[in-house]
Structure 1
Amino acid sequence: MTEYIIRFLIGGVIVSAFAMIGDVLRPKSFAGLFGAAPSVALATLGIAIVTHDAAYAAVQSRSMMFGAVALCLYSMIVCQLLMRLHLRALTASLLATVVWLVAALGLQAVFSGGA
């Protein structure tokens, strides 16, 4: 339970810092890039290093990078499905979720030996 409280507090501080950075940058659409995901990832990695070892944190950070690449692919697929095929948002996002899952698990299998 203490780990969740620490993660919440660290995440909140980092979210606030990223929000201030996003507020300064132009265009304002960049503000969303500095939202919760980077701060939660940093808080998670910080806790992983403190409670476990560096190898454990390395596996977590590698998995986060694979997820980020898969999310980028997911986003591009959703945009194409919406703009070119004029699918409904729910349909496009469900189809792209399959692509995200295959990409994330595929990257994990290829670069981590399936671990």
Structure 2
Amino acid sequence: MNQQKVQNPETQVPKTPEMNDRDFLNDMLATEKYMTQSYSIALNEASNQTFYQDLSAIFNETQNMQRTLYNLMFKNGWYSIDKADQNQIQQTRQQFSAYTNQLPVH
């Protein structure tokens, strides 16, 4: 398996017991991720249309902020992703293709 990372050069921050910029952004990103998950559940449970629309707007703002924080962390080299090799991609594609073959045809 190919373990190459996609990452920008890391912006250095002080390594002290106090929280630094990376720590704050990481905490904010984790909070936004948690909030989007919670709003998603609330959207699934909302029975009132007006409430649903309000929650949906808040969810979208929260999701956009999560993405902004992710992009900022990635830009500073504090977030990396693994490159998938072609075999992984093909294997996953075949797996999900098999799932779609099990779905009823309309």
Which TM bucket (shorter chain)? 0.3 to 0.5
The alignment's TM-score, normalised by the length of structure 1, stands at 0.33
Select the structure of larger CA radius of gyration.
2
Higher relative contact order (CA 8 A, sep 6+): 2
